[in-house]
Chain A
Amino acid sequence: MTRREFFEILIRDLRNIDPAELQDVLQYYNEYLDDAGIENEQATLAELGSPQKIATAIKANSTIRYLESSEKTSKKSLKAMWITLGAVFAAPIALPIAIVAAALVFTLIIICASVIFSFYAVAVALGLSGILLSIFSFFVITLSPMTFLAMLGSGFILAGLGLLFFIGTNALAKVSLKGYVLFVHKTILRKKGN
């Protein structure tokens, strides 16, 4: 076996270990052969034995280290188990609280939506009645010009009020929508991001 073959087999058999670890192995044996001297290379390679065996020994060693370290981490998983157990026992209290909180938030949203909807309804009613009043005022134009003027005037006032209400409600709806989007972003989306 040549030096080249020795390292080729070593790299092939150790391709699954940590690259830094492999680097260390290769450096060690490269140095070892250098120190033994080129004139002794064949004898040293024979002395080192098969690279497959060397690779197996190294892999066995890292497996033992891994098993030893996983023994230590089993304590951690025990702690995690207690936390889980605690969470299970807390669930009868925590779960209803979460449901109530969700219901409250949902109710709040519904209330806001209803208020805005009713404001729109008021605005539409005012506007419509104003317009109708203005139209109907023309029916009394011949009977009583004064009543006609009063009806037309109040019709315009009502329509104007309706328009103002509509604008105001629009602004309110925009603010509410912004608030809702912000709330969703902060609570649900942030949790996802983390």
Chain B
Amino acid sequence: MALSMMNNLLDALVLGILKIEDTYGYVLTQQAKEVMDISDSTLYPVLRRLQKDGALSTYDAPFQGRNRRYYSITEQGNTLLEQYIQDWKSYKETVEKILTGGLSNDKT
């Protein structure tokens, strides 16, 4: 459960970053590292999986004589992100209730 939560959070984070603008692996990793404690090699499997699931698409753009692979969110990815946002909201509320003791207070 905790592991799947972490995976989903990582997926949601990647989709959220790409919702703002298309970007490439290095920048994506640096941005994700700002909010989560992940290694530089964590995102590749995540990106690959999302791409295979149809949530992301890629395109190559030339940069200084080489190619850079940009990732962009698809329609399907947007739907997935919406779902993650809903999940996150309800998760956040539940955790908040427990941590601030709201849940037990309501019951007594």
Question: Which residues on A are within 8 Å of B, measured CB to CB?
Answer: 24-25, 27-29, 31-32, 34-36, 44, 47-49, 53-54, 57-58, 61, 65
Contact = CB atoms under 8 A, between A and B. Distances in A.
Interface of B: 24-27, 29, 39-41, 44-45, 47-49, 52, 66-69
Given A31-B26, A35-B26, A61-B49, 7 more contacts: A31-B66, A32-B29, A35-B27, A44-B40, A48-B39, A57-B41, A65-B49
B52 to A, nearest CB: 7
B67 A57 contact: no
B45 A36 contact: no
- If over half of A's interface residues share one DSSP class (helix, strand or loop), that class is named, otherwise mixed; here it is helix
B52 A31 contact: no
Given A47-B40, A48-B40, A65 B25 contact: no
B88 to A, nearest CB: 23
- If over half of B's interface residues share one DSSP class (helix, strand or loop), that class is named, otherwise mixed; here it is helix
Nearest to B69: A31
Nearest to B53: A65
Nearest to B51: A24
A97 to B, nearest CB: 49
Contact of B25 (A32, A49, A54, A57): A32
Contact of A49 (B26, B29, B41): B41
B44 A36 contact: no
A47 B44 CA distance: 14
Contacts of B48: 24, 58, 61
